Copies of this chain bind each other. A is one copy, B any other.
Amino acid sequence: MPDTRTTAESGRLQEEIRRRNLGTLLRHVHLDGAVSRAELAERTGLNRSTIMGLTAELVAAGLVREELPVGTGKAGRPSLVVRPESDRVYVLAFDVAVDRLVAARVGLGGVVLDRVETVRQRAGADLDSVVRVLAGFGRRLHATAPPGTVCAGIGASYCGMIRPGDGMVRYGPDMGWVDQAFGAELGRRLGLGLPVAVGNEAHLGARAEQLRGAGIGARNLIYLHGDSGVGGGIIVGGALLDGEAGYACEVGHMVVNPYNGRPCMCGSRGCLEAEVGERALLEAAGRPADMFGWDAVRSVVDAADRGEEAARDALRHVGDWLGIGVANLINLFNPGVVIFGGMLREVYLGSAAHVRVRIADHVLAVSRERVKLRISALADDTTLIGAAELAFAGLLRNPLEAVPEREPLAAER
């Protein structure tokens, strides 16, 4: 009896190892776009015949293709290059930001294949109206996808606190949402038979920048996302800091100015986002109360570049508070990189000197030895790409089983 059990266990272990190896290979191809078999062998420590067997399985599943590399100039038989089937396997990604609603079809390999976007009205955005727009976008993207393509997952980025597991928006201050079943409702309205994975925009942004942006390979990364407020995504030892229930990283509500602080949407006062958010900058620059949005923020940074004193003062003021916030985070997290994304990209570019002065003033010398400050490399798509990566997660965990309803490929018909 022990022998039988050992054999069965050993079989399960083998199968588990094979599944993991398939996922690892597909992940490399997905993230790099094109990797030679030799490189895959080197990175994974697997021998070439194992790599060949695994890629053959991925090819058969329609997930990757193998090609002869374009002339390498080296002697000997060249190693085949493995590429993701970006045109064939895709996810639907949604981005619910303060200013806009975006939907995209993103191919394996992270290629944005198709995209729709609309300006979002700030007032009166209830669950029904937001989901109706997104579901319409999503169904259209799916319906117009070429024949033989397959949707491997759905992900959405939302500007609020998200319950892991079911995509419930626990708190979306900008829209006034409390406990709204966003993920479930979007999934139902899309009607594609796939669940919608939802994440907080800055959490997803952190992951996107770590995988494809300004923090590639970083194990300890802080991503600050400026929308109208400030969100945070913090990667600790390679993994997202989620805390006890998934609600960590609320950087925007770190109190930096407790006694003279501006009121914050959350009901508190002197929060980082109250001091450096869109409203703080526009008011400090003397802009009218009906100006808002990224374009307005950009116009202040541009005006400062052109020498406008009010705009420069505003950036100095906001940069000062941003620097205090970042200094606190460096003391707390000893990160390798801090990345400014969304609207904070512009704000940081316009106030980097002030931010750096604050870091020099407030961060312990030992804690700042290794830290780099960067702007996001994925521009306006950081959170959208993060949503796409969330959608790809199932496929990368289990490449051969995560595409249940795969349609026949064109070549097979």
A residues at B contact (CB < 8 Å): 161, 170-171, 219-220, 232, 234, 236-237, 239, 241-251, 253-260, 266, 268, 271, 324, 327-328, 331-336, 361-367, 369-371
Contacts and interface: CB of A to CB of B under 8 A. Distances in A.
Could you say how many copies of this chain the assembly holds? 2
Contacts of A255: 256, 324, 327-328, 362
B334 A244 contact: yes
Nearest to A248: B334
A177 B62 CA distance: 61
A225 to B, nearest CB: 15
A92 to B, nearest CB: 27
B332 A248 contact: yes
Given A239-B237, A332-B248, A259 B258 contact: no
Contacts of A242: 237, 334
A361 B255 CA distance: 11
Given A239-B237, A255-B327, A370 B244 contact: yes
Contacts of A236: 236-237, 241, 243
20 contacts: A161-B364, A234-B332, A236-B236, A236-B241, A236-B243, A237-B241, A244-B334, A245-B334, A246-B334, A247-B364, A247-B366, A250-B334, A253-B331, A253-B364, A254-B328, A254-B331, A255-B324, A255-B327, A255-B362, A268-B362
B161 A366 contact: yes
A244 B371 contact: yes
A198 to B, nearest CB: 15
- Give the 4 A-B residue pairs with the shortest CB-CB distance, closest first: A243-B334, A248-B334, A250-B331, A244-B336
A237 B246 CA distance: 11
Contact of A257 (B239, B248, B258, B366): B258
Nearest to A241: B236
Contacts of A244: 219-220, 334-336, 370-371
A367 B241 CA distance: 13
